[in-house]
Structure 1
């Protein structure tokens, strides 16, 4: 039997426990996270809930549908879940499993890479409780990025909210302004996204510093650019995360240094879409299936 455990797949890393591994390894294929396992979903020109959960050991068996498997697990079907675009560690199965299971919440979560237009990935203008500098989205009309979308039930969404607030806020991005294309070609009508309440870090050229890369390299670059950060959190990235992760006052002072260095760009483009409580249906107001597919 094929071992689909997160450990066997090399996806069991938890950036919250190992800050220099942030943002962790994302899933690269449509999958169903079930706690400590990651099952493959077969892409079909149908709604997500009808995609089969593939049995790796049965080549001729398309498997049960995703909604059927979720039902057998006693979990909400896809139509009662909320799509959430992940730009940081929430794309990592290990991190998502850790966030939910430590609270006693079942980590049964569909995770699908989706092509999103109009969103860039940068670095938040703050130091996270784990000591790393996390990612944040920003509006970039020319960008087209593959980002993992997680489908969370209401309990899971609330739990993730609690890990993000107050450093992040949640917005609903409409599909007509931010095109979101599933691997099947179907387009989402909208999805939630978390964006930093602290702004976006600028690079030396004044534009958003790219996020999602090697955390040690990022922290090393920031230390090299600021004598005050070297004094506060240096001399190296390992010392940074150890000190910052253990001392809230150091995190707050480091965050303040970002501002004093003039590195922080304000986040205002998502404010028109801000909604911290609204329910979002999976495929609300989409045209019929045949018309929603793209080649």
Structure 2
């Protein structure tokens, strides 16, 4: 009996870009291969990612074999990208790629990452929500989804992130990244906000990200009369107004700073990938999942 692995059947078809209050969307629940509107489970092996088995196949096949049959790049020719926010959501990733006619064939794997916290960006996104951003916290250990993107997919995702986010290369020597197989990644890309990180007014520390968007927007509105005057009294009003008007988004972003909530992001700067900023994609070697 074939299991229905469609995103809709799995409850993973939310697209925060179209439904802002669902941000960050539901992350992939385990090691998986996204193929269009389906999410196939991966059977973790004590081997490199491309050697893991893909479930729901008529006969047992390894991930790289399945990618080859789909006409897609093998895992060793892909770029691991740590996803903070909606890029961990299969529905959002599929939307970003398929709307451009790019095949949404993407391995997605939960990876234990040392030294990264998840906060909220100091800006209002084009869809109207307040997106997540990583920040450096040397004491943190967090499970984050890593997507393996080919060069075309990487450029497409870059175009959805710039100029609000920059891309950095995190070396495994500084940020330990451990796969479910026990493999340690040499390096991985990560996007971080160019607008800084929102602070909790009560503590001055980064406001935790990754939670319910309605709860976050309600808290921000409660803390600022100017935001209520600009964007309304509730999260629904906020995303409706901000998503429709760039000037409102820009003014709301300025209010974040004027309220004294924004902490600058400088810890990632030594790791910034200048080639990504210059869009030199043909010259970018893939960061495969080699052991450290």
Spell out the pairing of 1:99-248 with structure 2 (5 A cutoff): 99-204=96-201, 205-248=203-246
Partner deviation per Cα, 1:208-260 (whole Å, 9 max, x = no partner)? 00000010000000000001000000110000000000000000000000000
Bigger drift between 25-34 and 269-278 goes to 269-278
The answer to whether the 8 A contact 1:189-1:283 is kept is yes
Match of 2:11 in 1: 10
Match of 1:79 in 2: 76
The answer to whether the 8 A contact 1:44-1:51 is kept is yes
Partner deviation per Cα, 1:247-288 (whole Å, 9 max, x = no partner)? 00000000000000000000000000000424342135x35x
| TM-score, with structure 1 as normaliser | 0.94
Match of 2:281 in 1: none
The answer to whether the 8 A contact 1:32-1:109 is kept is yes
The answer to whether the 8 A contact 1:191-1:280 is kept is no
For residues 12 and 226 of structure 1, what CA distance do their matches in structure 2 show? 33
The answer to whether the 8 A contact 2:49-2:289 is kept is no
1:55: how far off? 2.3
Spell out the pairing of 1:37-56 with structure 2 (5 A cutoff): 37-55=38-56
Would you say 1:92 and 2:89 are equivalent positions? yes
For residues 225 and 289 of structure 2, what CA distance do their matches in structure 1 show? 50
Match of 1:34 in 2: 35
Gaps of 5+ in 1: 288-295
For residues 140 and 241 of structure 2, what CA distance do their matches in structure 1 show? 35
SS of 2:39's equivalent? strand
Would you say 1:282 and 2:261 are equivalent positions? no
The answer to whether the 8 A contact 2:168-2:272 is kept is yes
For residues 87 and 17 of structure 1, what CA distance do their matches in structure 2 show? 18
For residues 223 and 61 of structure 2, what CA distance do their matches in structure 1 show? 53
1:28: how far off? 1.5
For residues 87 and 281 of structure 1, what CA distance do their matches in structure 2 show? 18
After TM superposition, which residue ranges in structure 1, 4 or more long, deviate above 2 angstroms? 276-281
Number of paired residues? 282
| TM-score, with structure 2 as normaliser | 0.95
Match of 1:70 in 2: 67
For residues 11 and 280 of structure 1, what CA distance do their matches in structure 2 show? 28
